[in-house]
Structure 1
Amino acid sequence: MSLHPTLQPYADAWTHSVEAISELVQPLVESEWNRRTPCPGWSVRDVVSHVIGLDCEMLGDPRPIHTLPRDLFHVTNEHQRYMEMQVDVRRHHTAPEMTSELEYTIIRRNRQLRNESRDPGTKVRGPLGTEQTLEEAMRYRAFDVWVHEQDLRTALGVPGNLDSPGAHIARDELLAMLPEVVAKDAGAPPGSAIVLDVHGAVEFLRTVRVDAEGRGSIDGAPSLGPAVSLMLDWETYVRLACGRVTADAVADHIKAEGDTDLTAALLQSFAVTN
């Protein structure tokens, strides 16, 4: 048996992004590993440590036994504490140690994926002791690794892969969370519609509709009288939705029409990742 067809796109996207990360960091000198990335509180080394650590968890490796320092001000909740453990334990690793562990982890994960014969619905270990399906875990790894590839590209000044396989998985992941952002977090009123028009490397138009009970749903049909229309480029959308920038910082990349209060609430609630 081999990898289930449902899982293949996630494996392909993960491979594409993680190999891009490896190519990006291979030539870096020691000081470049300390560059700040758009991911709050994390350097280039920290982002790569996170990628290594979560793929080690996908391999079933035990989590490190490690006490976090008290002065990590970007760590404010249990989810962030969980993610920080794999990062902080590698904070003093040298460039050769980082690149060699990344390469070894990629080799191990590729071997695991070649031999993966489990059903997509198989339950696997998730963060903070949760359970998730194998499909959910692989989809989120593809999304996560692509986002962190973009973090590294921004930090190192090497743009690219905004339309790679991982980008399309990221689009679907972010759009799946948008109805809750609109209906619950931003408080769009029942019966209203919000149109999102994204252009650039990945282009799409989506409408989030809030029903009479206040529940949000999303589709690709335009709305004739939306409460708010947002037009922005793909890179800005990703950076906003992943909490890498504030709406104020990229205001010149966003065109908004409609209810100004609702627009402000939407942009305030736009980030969906920790």
Structure 2
Amino acid sequence: MSLHPTLQPYADAWTHSIEAISALVQPLAEAEWNRRTPCPGWSVRDIVSHVIGLDCEMLGDPRPIHTLPRDLFHVTNEHQRYMEMQVDVRRHHTAPEMTSELEYTIIRRNRQLRNESRDPGTKVRGPLGAEQTLQDAMRRHAFDVWVHEQDLRTALGRPGNLDSPGAQVARDVLLAEFPQIVAEKANAPRSSAVVVDVHGPVEFLRTIRVDIQGRGTLETAPALGPAAALTLDWETFVRLACGRMTLEAAADRIKTEGDPDLAAAILRNFTVTS
């Protein structure tokens, strides 16, 4: 048996992004590993440490036994503490140590994927011990690694892969959050619709409809006379949704129509990653 067909797109997206990350960091001088990235509190080294840690957990490796310093200003909740453990334990690793561990981890993960025969619905351990399906875990993992590839590209001034397989996964992961953003967080009126129109390397138009019970659903059919409409480019969409850009910095890249209060409420709740 081999990888289930529904899992193959996530394996392909991960492979594309992790190989891009490896190519980006392989030639870096020691000092370049300390460059700040758009991910709050994390350097290039920290991002690569996080990616290695994510893959080690996908491999089922035990988590490091490590005590975090108390002065990490960007760590404010248990989820962030969980993620920071794999990062802080590698903070003093040299460039050769980082690239060597990354390459070894990629080899191990490729071997795991070649031998992966489990059903997509198989339950696996997620962050903080939460249970999730293998399909959800691989989808989220492909998304995370692509977002962090983009963090590295921004930090190193090497833009690219905004339309890669990982970008397609990211589109679906981020859009899945929008019914809740529109219906619950922004409190859109019942029996209304909101349109999100994104252009650039990844283009799409989606309608979020709010039914009479206040539940939101995502549709591909355009809405006539929506309560609000937002138009923005793909990179801005990603950076806002992933907390890599402030609303103020993105203001001149976003066009809104319809109810200004509803549009503002959606934009205030645009960030979906923790």
1:79 aligned residue: 79
Instruction: Measure the CA separation in 1 of the matches of 2:215 and 2:147.
Output: 28
Give the letter aligned to residue 99 of structure 2: T
2:176 aligned residue: 176
Question: What are the equivalent positions in structure 2 for 1:37-186 lying under 5 Å apart?
Answer: 37-186=37-186
TM-score by length of 2: 0.99
Give the letter aligned to residue 252 of structure 1: D
How many residue pairs align between the two structures?
274
Q: Which runs of 5+ in 1 are unaligned?
A: none
Instruction: Measure the CA separation in 2 of the matches of 1:74 and 1:263.
Output: 29
Shift of 1:226: 0.9
Instruction: Measure the CA separation in 1 of the matches of 2:40 and 2:253.
Output: 21
Shift of 1:186: 1.2
Could you say what secondary structure the match of 2:52 adopts?
helix
Shift of 1:263: 1.3
Give the letter aligned to residue 245 of structure 1: M
Instruction: Measure the CA separation in 1 of the matches of 2:35 and 2:259.
Output: 40
Post-superposition CA distance 1:141-196 (Å, at most 9, x none): 11100000000000000000000000000000001111001111111121121100
- After TM superposition, where is structure 1 displaced by more than 4 Å over at least 4 residues in a row? none
1:32 aligned residue: 32
Could you say what secondary structure the match of 1:15 adopts?
helix
Shift of 1:28: 0.5
2:238 aligned residue: 238
Instruction: Measure the CA separation in 2 of the matches of 1:260 and 1:51.
Output: 39
Give identity over the alignment, percent: 81
Instruction: Measure the CA separation in 1 of the matches of 2:87 and 2:187.
Output: 35
Could you say what secondary structure the match of 2:17 adopts?
helix
Give the letter aligned to residue 65 of structure 1: I
Instruction: Measure the CA separation in 2 of the matches of 1:29 and 1:227.
Output: 51
2:270 aligned residue: 270
1:14 aligns with 2:29: no
Instruction: Measure the CA separation in 1 of the matches of 2:256 and 2:32.
Output: 38
Calculate the aligned-residue CA RMSD, in Å.
0.7
Could you say what secondary structure the match of 2:64 adopts?
coil
Shift of 1:73: 0.9
Give the letter aligned to residue 184 of structure 2: K
Instruction: Measure the CA separation in 1 of the matches of 2:259 and 2:88.
Output: 44
Give the letter aligned to residue 17 of structure 1: S
Give the letter aligned to residue 63 of structure 2: R
Could you say what secondary structure the match of 1:46 adopts?
helix
Shift of 1:252: 1.1
Could you say what secondary structure the match of 2:177 adopts?
helix
Shift of 1:264: 1.2
Give the letter aligned to residue 199 of structure 1: H
Give the letter aligned to residue 19 of structure 1: E
1:211 aligns with 2:211: yes
Instruction: Measure the CA separation in 2 of the matches of 1:264 and 1:246.
Output: 13
1:220 aligned residue: 220
Q: Which runs of 5+ in 2 are unaligned?
A: none
Give the letter aligned to residue 34 of structure 1: N
TM-score by length of 1: 0.99
